[in-house]
Amino acid sequence: MHEHLDALEQRMQQLQQAMRRAQLARDSDQVKQLRDELRRIQRAWDALFAQAEEAEENNPSGSSENDTPAGAAPAEPQTLLPAREQVHQVLTLLAVPAAPKLISTVHEAFFTGALAPSRLTSLRRDEERSYRGAPGARPYYLCPALTSDLLSPARGLLTVSTWSLEQRIVGPLSARVHFLTSALNIADATERLDPDTLPLPARQLLARYAQNIPGAQPPISQSHPVGAPLDLALLRRAAEDELTLHTESDTASRTQAAARARSQLDDAALLFGGSFQSARHLRSVP
């Protein structure tokens, strides 16, 4: 929970800095949009902080698992996190929009317990229903990525509401940029683990990334025993090299779409996308 608070606080700081820049540029419309987003993030922070306080009250610091009397029956295993919390963990690691299958695979590789893609089928609809019933009541919402052309929900891609709008939009080049970015973030997560006990799903996931990034694997002629650890430095360098080719164009496309979205969509649509009925109209408005 504390890592979620940290992420919200970082986002608030970014918004405050952006508001100052917009104010200096005398862009009153941008200031208003940023202030509205800052208020939403502040409400989310307040709600999460209240949850943290309540958890502390229900679990005083004086009590712990170590206080269990000798001979007492062991406590029941801790219940797995709800699916939305598990998805949030994975998306925080990846830091890019992701499909249910990838979310499930990454969860298996780096987290405890199974997360079947089928469990995510209705999750987005439940999140939107919850938001429309009580906007801002939750510290974050799982929402779809938005397409850069129609500003409508991107099929099968989940994001986190506390991400910037630009981060939640997908353009023509975004799929490749997100693939390369997630490869870098997964490599970073792998380096924090013990290489000798790296789970097989994590090894397999890294191998699939390396197979789909030019230059991420040693030349065939080079000695590379079967089962040898993946060269993370080589994978990272290859991903970064290709990212430099696409990032500027992709960022420009998503930034333009985000500016259009802020001027055309309400708060709910900024998270969950415009209706398909109005998608053609939104694309036509400059």
* Start-end of H helices in 59-138: 83-94, 100-110, 123-133
Residue 164 sits in the same domain as residue 46: no
C-alpha span between 205 and 184 (Å, rounded)? 12
Is there a contact between 173 and 249 (Cβ–Cβ < 8 Å)?
yes
C-alpha span between 222 and 224 (Å, rounded)? 6
Query: Is residue 74 packed enough to be buried (19+ CB in 10 Å), middle (13-18) or exposed (0-12)?
Result: exposed
Residue 51 sits in the same domain as residue 88: no
- pLDDT score of 185: 95
Q: Is residue 186 part of a domain?
A: yes
Q: Is residue 171 part of a domain?
A: yes
Residue 123 sits in the same domain as residue 184: yes
- pLDDT score of 207: 93
Tokens of 222: 């080079």
Q: How many domains, the chain?
A: 2
Q: Is residue 223 part of a domain?
A: no
Residue 48 sits in the same domain as residue 99: no
Q: Is residue 74 part of a domain?
A: no
Residue 244 sits in the same domain as residue 140: yes
Torsions phi, psi of 153, nearest 5? Answer: -60, 130
Residue 190 sits in the same domain as residue 151: yes
Residue 103 sits in the same domain as residue 242: yes
Residue 40 sits in the same domain as residue 171: no
Q: What is the mean pLDDT of the chain?
A: 81
Q: Is residue 179 part of a domain?
A: yes
Residue 34 sits in the same domain as residue 85: no
C-alpha span between 31 and 9 (Å, rounded)? 19
- pLDDT score of 114: 76
pTM above 0.75, yes or no: no
Containing structural domain, residue 8: 1-56
- pLDDT score of 112: 77
- pLDDT score of 277: 47
- pLDDT score of 194: 78
Residue 141 sits in the same domain as residue 197: yes
Q: Is residue 203 part of a domain?
A: yes
C-alpha span between 88 and 86 (Å, rounded)? 5
Q: Is residue 153 part of a domain?
A: yes
Residue 49 sits in the same domain as residue 88: no
Question: Averaged in consecutive runs of 10 residues, what is the pLDDT profile of the chain (286 residues)?
Answer: 66 75 78 77 69 62 45 44 90 96 93 81 89 91 96 95 96 97 94 80 92 89 55 95 96 97 95 68 48
Q: Is residue 140 part of a domain?
A: yes
DSSP element (H, E) containing 169: strand 169-170
Residue 244 sits in the same domain as residue 127: yes
Give the residue from 253, 102, 244, 254 showing the smallest Cα distance to 168: 254
C-alpha span between 164 and 38 (Å, rounded)? 11
Domain boundary among the residues 56, 71, 93 is at 56
